[in-house]
Amino acid sequence: MSSSMSSGMGNTVTEQLTQVGQQIEHDSFAIVDKETGVHDYPVSQWPIVRRMIHATADFEFNGLTRFHPDAVEAGLNAIANGANIIADVEMICVGLSRPRLSHFGVTTHHFIADEDVIAQAKAENTTRAVQSMRKAHRLDLLNGGILAVGNAPTALIEIDRLVREKNVKPALIVGMPVGFVSAEESKDTVSELVDTPWIITQGRKGGSTLVVSAIHALLALAEAQQKAIQ
């Protein structure tokens, strides 16, 4: 059954900054809605999928995007509480809107290029992505955080290990690494987590752009929710 939701009309922080920009974005969302037609996503999830399609012009994400039952609620609560976002690559942090994040007191972190991370990856013959997640764990940033992976499957595999073996409790995993080696498998493994909410893309498709668009959609939903209770 088809579901739809306001594209964010009335939001002031998470909208485009000019009236022309807002209209283009709203018109784009309307085109996505029209061309998608019937879909199986509930009203709480569709704005996230729609924004991912909008960011990529790829309608296959209608179907490839999967949600843990508690994912949207967990993401909104984390944002409302000013959670940390821990990303596998700098691209995600750069892509996220600073004004939108600061409105909620959300901060971003990435460690992929840190000298100690690089040195440890060489010493242990692992990847920088693995070591960056281990560093975030040592800094106690993972618990209650939004973990954003768009590039490195090994980062997602390490997050999964930390959840299962170290009892790490992130608020939400947005796991959308792109690629040919372990990308699909890493997302399949995370999708088996029962007590940790996640949003993933199935298969090889993914990327930092998708992670950014999914988080921006959550920020827009969080602002709408904030206004509704004021």
Question: Hey, which residues are catalytic here?
Answer: 54
Q: Which residue, 87, 90, 37, is CA-closest to 62?
A: 37
Q: Which residue, 219, 93, 94, 221, is CA-closest to 147?
A: 93
End-to-end CA distance of the chain, in Å?
32
Q: Is the dihedral of CA 96, 180, 59, 20 positive or negative?
A: positive
Question: Sheet holding 198-201: strands in order across?
Answer: 65-67, 198-201, 172-175, 146-149, 84-87, 107-109
Please give the structure tokens belonging to residue 211. Answer: 């992670």
